[in-house]
Amino acid sequence: MTEDHTLKIFHSFSRPPSATSYIISDTRADLHKAASKYDSHLVEAEPDIRSLLATTHVCHRLRLIALAFAPLWSTIPHSCPGDLDLLLVARSGNRPLRVFGDRSGFFRWSTTPIFSTPRRAQIQELYLTQMPMEVCNEKLLAALASHLTYLNVIVTPRYPKGTREPFPRLYFGGEDPVVLRALALSLKAGVSPCDNFPSLAHLRLCGTDTEYMGRMFLQLLADTPVLETLYLVDAPLELDDDWASSDRIPMVQLNRLRALSFDNTGFEAAFAILGHIKFPPDAVVALHRLQYTRDTNLGTMFVPSLTKFTTLEVMESYPALHTRARGEGGGFWIHMTTNRFDVPMLTFRTIIPSLLNGFADTLDMVQTLRVGGSMSETSMTPSLLEITLPTASQLMPTLSSLFVASDSASNPAAHLVPSLKRALLSAKGSVPYPALETLGVLGTLPTTEDKHLLELLADRARRGHRIRTVFVRSSREEESTEALGSSGLRDHVEKIDTRRVTWNPEGDSFWRIENEYWRLYPEGTRRQMVEMWGLPEVERG
């Protein structure tokens, strides 16, 4: 047990028993065995039962409180000897149990006391691990089918390079898991379109080098009519040979779906599968780590029938690009990555207009546009703003708020103002974004006496399209709003706001949909979002 956990327990002595019991429970939640050698997308590390037992021997009072708090003992690790299994069950009372299967090899459940009658009736959540070529434990799961609510099946990495196609199998031996609400499978363990899941609300599938056929995936979804969240991670989707005959591919109706996430599944296959799933217009759809190559056909992209979008974000941090839009209910996120040696930055940026045109029918009510990322430009390379804003202006006639940001600390906000001016002024007579009233430059300008910013504001005011509110900050902290007004900005706008305007794409709770069993972003993925996903750090001010 760490020193921090020991101090937490020590300071709990003066608290009421109820508070102390929750502190112990919280401490246990922080004590997990390392699970890095297993699939990080699917594995929930086991609590360290030895540390829990150690806390009950700190003093007599703490022991009495812990023994009286049944929820502490309702998780059964795989490493427990049989007698300890029974001790934990006895201390848990009649509470539902969370049980971890044996990772040491073939799971000998028939000789494990916790799975004997009548104790197994308490098991509601099962984390089962099997070796790559091990058959599924159909008999065990059939015995649990009537009361199991969560099943997590993973595969140990004894043969990490072994590849085989997932095949249909009966996980529950022909019994319908009538109350199963959540199912997480490693694709190497095989998929289960042979079972019927009448109450399954949450499904998570993870593969690595295992190919997954589109028809099999759709068949699995067809057996989950009340599905609410669907996550497909690291699974190379493959389209069947007859996929071109779309009339032979079934359509899947998921009327309760609220979140769908495909992560690293392939660009064209992801959209092909998406086109055969019908879901509510207020669902949130996220397609992550779609690989873009020179041969990628952007014409296969489409936007599902979702609610009208009111906010659009374009974020670039080469070699990653994000386009995400949201409305009152639904949202659509496309995240693309590329190989630096295959597609240079300029070529990668030029796909932005094609992506925006794919959103064309859904952007006519957008009120807010945010553009952020690397604003580097040369005489031969247009900036991110100059590529994005002209196309966006044709698709968003009602845009009223525009925020721009650079994600580089060494690239001050002043570097993006010249390209912003070129994008918001037109020499052809018409003014882009005629309804624009709010402009925010996220970051810090070296000085507000920037001729490009003043010319931009003055020209739009002269043409009858005044920008009424400007969010801007000066590097001189003592420079007040009054001083900013005297710099010339006040002559062209109605309000100058110097408060820091933050935009944190990684922390936006709208896209962080969770359920009661797992997160959309596992902890390992969350830590890598800036590096691996290339989300710009644009919240600086």
pLDDT band at 182 (very low <50, low <70, confident <90, very high): very high
Question: Among residues of the chain, what percentage have pLDDT more than 70?
Answer: 70
Domain that holds residue 10: 1-68
Query: Once rounded to an integer, what is the mean pLDDT over residues 376-405?
Result: 85
Rounded to whole angstroms, the Cα distance separating 57 from 69 reads 15
Q: How far does Cα 484 stand from its chain's mean position?
A: 40
Beta-bridge partner residues of 123 = 97
Q: Report pLDDT digits (tens) over 34-83.
A: 444 444 555 566 766 766 676 676 676 667 777 777 777 777 777 666 67
Total-model pTM: 0.85
Q: For residue 13, is it within any domain? A: yes
Asked if 260 contacts 284 with a C-beta cutoff of 8 angstroms, the reply is: yes
List alpha helices for 359-405, DSSP H.
384-395
Q: For residue 14, is it within any domain? A: yes
Query: Phi/psi at 430 (nearest 5 deg)?
Result: -75, 150
Q: For residue 55, is it within any domain? A: yes
Query: Once rounded to an integer, what is the mean pLDDT over residues 524-538?
Result: 72
Rounded to whole angstroms, the Cα distance separating 324 from 345 reads 20
**Residue 268, CA distances (Å) to 29, 52, 130, 352, 418 in order:** 41, 49, 32, 17, 37
Beta-bridge partner residues of 263 = 233, 288
> Per-residue pLDDT for 15 more than 90?
no
- Strands 252-253 and 229-233, bridge-based pairing: unpaired
Q: For residue 421, is it within any domain? A: no
Query: Once rounded to an integer, what is the mean pLDDT over residues 23-27?
Result: 53
Q: Report pLDDT digits (tens) over 331-368.
A: 999 999 998 888 988 889 889 999 999 998 899 999 99
Burial state string for 130-144 with b = 16 or more CB within 10 A and e = fewer than 16: bbbeeebbeebbbbb
192 vs 507, residue with greater confidence:
507
Q: Report pLDDT digits (tens) over 91-150.
A: 778 888 888 876 544 555 656 677 776 778 888 998 887 765 566 667 778 888 899 999
Stretch (H or E) spanning 291: strand 284-292
pLDDT score recorded for residue 9? 43
Question: Among residues of the chain, what percentage have pLDDT more than 90?
Answer: 24
> Per-residue pLDDT for 418 more than 80?
yes
Q: For residue 50, is it within any domain? A: yes
pLDDT band at 519 (very low <50, low <70, confident <90, very high): low
pLDDT score recorded for residue 336? 94
Would you list the DSSP string of 95-106?
Answer: --EEEEPP-SSS
Q: For residue 24, is it within any domain? A: yes
Number of domains observed in the structure of the chain: 1
Q: Report pLDDT digits (tens) over 352-362.
A: 999 999 998 89
pLDDT score recorded for residue 34? 43
Query: Phi/psi at 163 (nearest 5 deg)?
Result: -115, 130
Q: For residue 210, is it within any domain? A: no
Listed residue (453, 492, 497) closest to 472, CA to CA: 497
Q: For residue 7, is it within any domain? A: yes
pLDDT score recorded for residue 134? 61
- Strands 320-327 and 331-338, bridge-based pairing: antiparallel
Rounded to whole angstroms, the Cα distance separating 144 from 123 reads 8
Asked if 88 contacts 73 with a C-beta cutoff of 8 angstroms, the reply is: yes
